[in-house]
Amino acid sequence: MNSSLPTVTPVTTIPNYGQSIFLAILVLIMMFFSSALIFLFLGLFSTQTPETLALDPTTLAITLFFSVLASYSFLIGLTRNYFKQHFLPRISSSFPSALFAISLGISFALLVLWLQQIIPPQTELNLTIANALTSDGFGKWLVIIVAILFAPVFEEYLFRGLIFDSLFKQWGIWVATLGSSILFTSFHLFEYHQYWLAWFSVFCLAIILAFVRHKSDSMLNPILLHAIYNTTLIIMGSD
């Protein structure tokens, strides 16, 4: 009597595209509910009315910081195998590649700032990040941490990591680049929907980030590019 052991198929840690899109939606939901909870918590210790509290720059800064941290920490917890097996091993780069990514981030940020001077928004923009940056001391530093650390690391993990890899595995580089870039832009439309140049710049940035991610096979390079892009906008774009 012949017997054979059953074949065990290895379980991949890269989610399929449906799962990755669901995770992106889940992050949005988590950010919304965590922001609401943080805002309600801060309201318990504030003498301001809900209307003035919602516009307070320091409140915005604290809410932004902890909602982003909580939402993406939850995401990494859900995808810890991918984080350990696919993301962390790619946090490396050669010096020329890293320098190229940094130079590209600065150059693209300066180009965007120049275009914004030529084609300014038709109406005054009310941006969460810009408002939160007007807070004093503690709040301002929280926003800076979000912009130059949290956003580059967490958003690259989601969009050029989970989503890019899932689309690339299914359909290849062009769908992975376009799909991850459209989703990345969609995440920012709430802030920039009134100003077409801003969201188009975000879309172009996403294309560049996907290109750097694929060509270098590194997650560190798009993180560096994203971080220096945000840093340049904060430094050069502040009045």
Q: Which residues are within 8 A (CB) of 228 and not within 5 positions of it... i.e. 6 or more apart?
A: 101, 102, 105, 106, 109
Q: What is the pLDDT of residue 30?
A: 95
**DSSP single-letter state for residue 10:** P
Q: Show the tokens assigned to 77.
A: 């917890």
129: amino acid identity, one letter: I
Rg of the Cα atoms in the chain? 20
Separation CA 80–CA 94 (nearest Å): 26
Would you call 149 helix, strand, or coil by DSSP?
Answer: helix
Q: Show the tokens assigned to 157.
A: 């993990």
Separation CA 162–CA 12 (nearest Å): 12
Q: Which residues are within 8 A (CB) of 141 and not within 5 positions of it... i.e. 6 or more apart?
A: none
Is-contact 101 225, C-beta < 8 A? yes
The DSSP code sequence of 184-198 is: HHHHHHHHHTT-HHH
Separation CA 195–CA 189 (nearest Å): 9
What is the pTM for the complete model shown?
Answer: 0.91
Q: Is 92 left (phi over 0), alpha (psi -120 to 50) or beta?
A: beta
* pLDDT tens for the 239 residues of the chain, in order: 444 544 444 445 889 999 999 999 999 999 999 999 998 888 877 777 776 766 788 888 999 999 999 999 999 999 999 999 999 999 999 999 999 999 999 999 999 999 999 999 887 777 778 888 888 888 899 999 999 999 999 999 999 999 999 999 999 999 999 999 999 999 998 888 788 999 999 999 999 999 999 999 999 999 999 999 999 999 987 54
